[in-house]
Amino acid sequence: MLLISKKYLTFNITEFDKGKILSERKRKRIYKTRKSFYRHYNFELLVFGLFLMGFFLLWEPWKIKAIVWGFITSSTRTIVNYIMDIAVRMGATILKVETSDLIGLLLILIAVILILIRTRNRIIRNHPSLSSCFKCEGDLRRTHRKMKHKLLEILLFCKVKQYSCRKCSFKGIALTIRKKPRL
């Protein structure tokens, strides 16, 4: 048993505690990690590869300019042919559709957009800003939104804020229209 005495404190330390204290004081060992061959010599390998490629291109009678130009022209021709094929098919489809059908689709699209705008405005109006709890008139605090609130924010193009009451179990959301930034 060891007796340690400081100015005002006296401790009795057993052999077990003494070993524990000494083991905590031991210096931590630094482990060296072995780097792979590539990590250690990656710069040298790159330079060696560049030298090999340079000498190979000097000695080999390739016409790289012609090869690259041929690849670019053939790939460009292929892309242009696909685009022309798609354009011809779309043109043939459009020629089959009558003008009255296009105007009818356009009017239906406008009606659907107007319905969606009206629905958005009604949903936002039904979830006004909250200042106090509806149940107990207590103070509200902001809480983290759930994934469904984030999706609602994206779909309705508005700001969604979730609140919970400090006194009761009320949870609600408030929807506000985002203000457009002024330029």
CA neighbours closer than 13 Å in the CB half-sphere of residue 8: 0
Residue pLDDT, tens place only, 125-158? 887 777 788 788 888 888 888 898 889 888 888 8
pLDDT of the residue at 30? 66
Token digits of residue 133: 């709890």
What CA–CA distance (Å, rounded) separates 173 from 164? 9
Closest CA to 175 of 139, 150, 141, 138: 150
What is the rounded CA–CA span in Å between residue 99 and residue 105?
10
80-133 per-position pLDDT tens digit: 999 999 999 999 988 888 888 889 999 999 999 999 999 988 888 887 777 788
Q: How far is CA 37 from CA 31, 77, 92, 135, 173, in A?
A: 19, 45, 62, 70, 59
Per-residue pLDDT, averaged over 168-179, amounts to 82
10-52 confidence digits (pLDDT tens)? 555 555 555 555 555 556 666 667 778 888 889 999 999 999 9
Distance CA 177, CA 110 (A): 22
Q: Give the tokens for residue 40.
A: 């250690």
Q: Which two tokens stand for residue 103?
A: 């105007």
pLDDT score, position 15: 53
0.75 cut: is pTM over it? no
Beta carbons within 10 angstroms of residue 150's beta carbon: 11
Half-sphere exposure of 95 (CA within 13 A, CB side): 6
Q: Six-digit token pair at 139?
A: 């103070």
